[in-house]
Amino acid sequence: MQRPEWIIGVDVGGTFTDLYAFERASGQLALHKRPSTPDNPAVAILEGLRELAGKARFDPATVGVLAHGTTVATNALIQRTGAPVAVVTTRNFRDLLEIGRQIRPRLYDLKADQPPPLAAREHRFEVDERVGADGRAVTPLDADSVAAAVEAVRDSGAEACAVCFLFSYLNADHERAVGASLAAALPDLSISLSSDVQPEFREYERFSTTLLNAYLQPLLNRYMRHLQSELASLAPDARVGINQSSGGLMSPERAREFPVRTALSGPAAGAMGAISTARKAGRGNIITLDMGGTSADVTLIRDYQVSTTFDREVAGFPVRLPMVDIHTVGAGGGSVAWFDRDGLMKVGPKSAGAVPGPACYGHGGTEPTVTDANAVLGRLSERGLLGGTMTLDTEASRRVIAPVAEGLGFTPERTAQGMLDIVTANMVRAIRAISVERGHDPRDFALMPFGGAGPLHANACAKALGIREIVVPYSPGILCAEGLLVADLSENLVRGQRFRLDDAAGARIAALAEDMMAEAEAWWAHEEVAADRRSLQAVVDMRYASQNYELRVPIETDGLTLRPPEVDALRDAFFAAHDQAYGFHNPEDPVDVVAVRLTAIGRLPSPGMPSAAADATTTPTPVEVRDVWFFDPDPVRTSVYDRATFAAGTVIEGPAVIDQFDATTLVFPGDVARVDDALNILMEIAQ
């Protein structure tokens, strides 16, 4: 008999830690949520795994894969809790991290400053060396200045060091020599070389990304070692994968080396889960709304593909690495209502978080939150969340909203509706930023809400945008954890080199790709990826010679081989991308290649389709009928259903409340919800 092997996705959020488990042999699914432990996220992961194993009745020792999305790096940057860090750089360039690009962080705020660099000026050390723009050494690396810099790093007390030289992405010899000297003299020092972290041009962004990586290395190293050591006794055969901001998994060893790659790993997992759900539902164009306890993340999926960005800010610091293109706004279930100096009510970005959380959770919350507003409006069942294991105190919600209502002169219900209107407006602005402002009509897309609070607010967002269909996944509150199981192993490689798109360009692109293929082969071997599970994706960064920013043009691969692309076809593809981005192209202007990117992929087994419960039916019976406030000032008698009783083909006409273990879905009056073969809810919105 085949030994059971469970694969588990774990997403650590600000309020809850979600677990999605799949057993390969039987196809059994198991879901679990538990409160996060912000002081040590590993505690919630390990306790959640034990609780899940008890609920689903399996031995944790049968876990074969554990994929993990982590917020440790992001929280460390926000809270400035990383390691003491130093920088070694080219002579006369230690102030680059403060000079930046000499632009204000907020255009209309004359007093706003960029966050101070993570390495103080006295901990940024210079050496005599210089590589030119052609990759050749202009000034040889001076051994005496290197020795002095090594001693200065030692005296600074730094636990990590970023080595950032000019044009090292073309010639990394000097950086590697300094890195070797640091490692020999200071074996406990974490070292990040910019030629390893981000080997591309734009020195400010490269320096910043490398410094962030060094700042996070000791922290992620301790966290990963602790998690792996604890898992070794609980699930000794589990292979751990850490999600990257680009949406693929990497090994813990790789995460310790490049922790900055995990900065947006949780939201990226949600995008991967959304694509998987979209395929099952047959909806290629999706706008996602991932609303959790602290924030809402939105992204746009077109033809089952999510766009990738290479220029983001994390906690105010520029990061240049491949990341899923996600727009975040401070709108979550824990977002707090407050009055500004102008006397107007605002909602968010301040959040009650996991501790104490909304008042209705009964953990000491004293401020009115979005979740409290939903409780007052009857949209949340008093039986509670997480299958009734987390009861809700609606009267506590009324108590914290009462002072706000008194200040506005409204009833508690009208006040709660106003709070939800404000948080909806915040999320609609975010959706417009990734759709309308980029030339996409949101009416051409379906809205996919997930996260614990997403399905509660989807209708209002859809109506504001003219979206006519909502797709609610089978397990919306745990979709990020599910996304970790459908993600593949991946390694992003890049060669930055600027040259004209001429007759010789095809051969130069192929040569750069061949150089990266050696790295890809080594990575596949290290990750033990079987030959039949290997694949490649290739992209060329291109721009007009007079432009300052580039567009990414995919090129086809022949299996695991990238042949020299036809220059005319590549030029036409660039013109098409330029048309889509800017609405025009000029066939006469010269075009430059700026970089060639290769993504090596190791495909992993994915969970199958969920199956309905044995007692599921197409004519489910309501578990109760209660008053719920929707748009009108008066309540509506509303049927409440348990989603676990829904079989494929079920049709529910609004108004209705659909409860499930991990989320609550609202079907407004006039809306119609249908359950498809994958047990997703497809909701038609009355306009």
- Domains of the chain: which residue ranges? 77-221, 335-422, 488-602
The dihedral formed by the CA atoms of 520, 526, 529 and 534, expressed in degrees to the nearest 10: 0
What is the arithmetic mean of pLDDT over 346-374? 87
Give the tens place of pLDDT for each residue, 311-341: 788 777 888 888 888 888 888 888 999 998 8
- CA neighbor of 63 nearest in space, from 114, 10, 104, 99: 10
- CA neighbor of 654 nearest in space, from 630, 672, 681: 672
* pLDDT reported for residue 196: 94
For 396, the enclosing helix (H) or strand (E) is: helix 394-408
CA distance 331 to 425: 10
Is residue 258 within 8 A of residue 197, CB to CB? The reply is yes
Secondary structure string (H, E, C) spanning 101-148: CCCCCCCCCCCCCCCCCCCCHHHEEEECCEECCCCCEEECCCHHHHHH
Alpha helices by DSSP H, 451-596: 454-465, 479-486, 505-526, 567-582
Portion of the chain with pLDDT greater than 90, in percent: 58
What is the arithmetic mean of pLDDT over 494-503? 91
Burial category of 579 from C-beta neighbours within 10 Å (exposed 0-12, middle 13-18, buried 19 and up)? exposed
pTM of the model: 0.87
Give the tens place of pLDDT for each residue, 563-598: 778 899 999 999 999 988 888 999 999 999 999 999
Instruction: Give the three-class secondary structure for 602.
Output: strand
Portion of the chain with pLDDT greater than 70, in percent: 98
Residue found under tokens 């406990």: 188
Strand order across the beta sheet in which 636-642 lies: 624-628, 636-642, 656-659, 664-667
DSSP 385: B
Domain spanning 488-602: which CATH class is it, in words?
Answer: alpha beta
* pLDDT reported for residue 174: 97
Give the tens place of pLDDT for each residue, 249-270: 898 999 999 999 998 887 888 8
* pLDDT reported for residue 343: 86
Instruction: Give the three-class secondary structure for 449.
Output: strand
What is the arithmetic mean of pLDDT over 93-108? 83
What is the arithmetic mean of pLDDT over 672-681? 96
87: β partners: 124, 162
190: β partners: 160
Q: 277 vs 134, 282, 283, 472, CA distance in Å?
A: 47, 8, 9, 9
* pLDDT reported for residue 102: 77
Q: Show the tokens assigned to 429.
A: 């602005």
Reply yes or no on whether the pLDDT at 384 is more than 70: no
Give the tens place of pLDDT for each residue, 590-630: 999 999 999 999 988 777 778 888 888 999 999 999 999 99
CA distance 329 to 144: 50
Q: Please state whether 451 falls in left (phi above 0), alpha (psi between -120 and 50) or beta.
A: left
* pLDDT reported for residue 1: 36
